[in-house]
């Protein structure tokens, strides 16, 4: 039960608990402040009824990540340098949705091959998330990949500086959960993907979404000019 007297009755929500775009607020004016190689920053003047507010927003292309699970119940994490935080991080294979005409699933399959030299024959959607919705439009879809096999030719090298050397760690799921809960792994796709997998009632198809499950949040972003075309 919430503390007595809190919140006020008018602040009690009575509808379904689910993210919604039913009551969005109009952008009165938009100014592009910065255009980078991957994302842009816009300044929006937003209407809130009788009020207005100014918000800076990172317009992001979106991304996918892959929790690859082997027959020994281990997940694949790769060690990669992330310059904005000046740290090497253990993450699942992941990448931007930056290839024209490529679906989220196709991007996930490509990134698993490019970053890990692995392919999978069984795919499901594991979890969707917004990375930092207070300031960025980045939406991430995390897939679960199973029935794994190594590519005969190994991992292709794409020429990206951060991807030149990507050491792999195959971590038992229970150990991966412990790494997350003790703050030793902090990548958002790793945290969300690992905990989502651990929380599954089972790994039967009935408890997992199909790989082509509609991504309504992503469609909403596209329809409302919140996806950067790279």
pLDDT digits (tens, 9 = 90+) for 29-63: 999 999 999 999 999 999 988 899 999 999 999 99
What CATH topology corresponds to 63-214?
A: Nucleoside Triphosphate Pyrophosphohydrolase (3.90.79)
- What is the pLDDT, as a whole number, of residue 32? 95
Supply the pLDDT for residue 5.
62
Read off φ and ψ for residue 142, nearest 5 degrees.
-105, 125
What does pTM read for this prediction? 0.93
pLDDT at 206: 87
Model pLDDT, residue 9: 81
Torsion of CA 212, 214, 218, 221, to 10 degrees: 150
* Catalytic residue chosen out of the listed positions 115, 163, 175, 222: 163
Domain boundaries, the chain: 24-59, 63-214
Residue 209's contacts (CB-CB under 8 Å, 6 or more residues apart) are 124, 125, 126
Q: What is the pLDDT of residues 161-172, one digit of tens each?
A: 777 789 999 999
Instruction: Give the C-alpha distances (Å, rounded to integers) separating 68 from 36, 125, 165.
Output: 31, 12, 19
pLDDT of residue 66: 98
Compute the distance between CA of residue 78 and CA of residue 180 in angstroms, rounded to an integer: 15
Q: What is the pLDDT of residue 165?
A: 86
Q: How many CB atoms lie within 10 A of CB 182?
A: 8
Q: What is the pLDDT of residue 21?
A: 82
| Ranges of the chain whose pLDDT falls below 70 | 1-5, 158-159
Q: Which of 190, 221, 218, 217 is nearest to 126 (CA)?
A: 190
Task: Give, as one character, the DSSP assignment of residue 56.
Answer: E
Catalytic residue check, 163: yes
């Amino acid at each position: 039960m919430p503390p007595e007297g809190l919140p006020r009755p008018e602040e009690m929500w009575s509808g379904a608990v689910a993210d919604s775009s039913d009551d969005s607020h109009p952008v009165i004016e938009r100014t592009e402040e910065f255009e980078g190689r991957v994302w842009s920053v816009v300044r929006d003047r937003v209407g809130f009824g009788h009020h207005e507010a100014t918000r800076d927003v990172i317009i992001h292309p979106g991304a996918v990540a892959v929790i690859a699970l082997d027959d020994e119940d281990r997940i694949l994490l790769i060690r990669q340098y992330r310059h904005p935080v000046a740290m090497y991080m253990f993450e699942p294979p992941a990448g931007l949705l930056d290839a024209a005409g490529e679906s989220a699933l196709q991007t996930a399959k490509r990134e698993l091959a490019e970053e890990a030299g692995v392919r999978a024959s069984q795919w499901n959607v594991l979890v969707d998330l917004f990375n930092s919705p207070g300031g960025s439009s980045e939406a991430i879809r995390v897939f679960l990949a199973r029935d794994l096999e190594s590519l005969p030719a190994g991992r292709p090298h794409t020429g990206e500086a951060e991807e030149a050397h990507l050491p792999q760690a195959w971590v038992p799921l229970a150990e991966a959960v412990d790494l997350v809960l003790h703050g030793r792994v902090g990548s958002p796709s790793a945290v969300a993907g690992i905990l989502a997998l651990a929380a599954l009632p089972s790994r039967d198809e009935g408890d997992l979404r199909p790989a082509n499950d509609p991504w309504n949040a992503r469609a909403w972003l596209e329809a409302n000019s919140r996806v950067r075309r790279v």
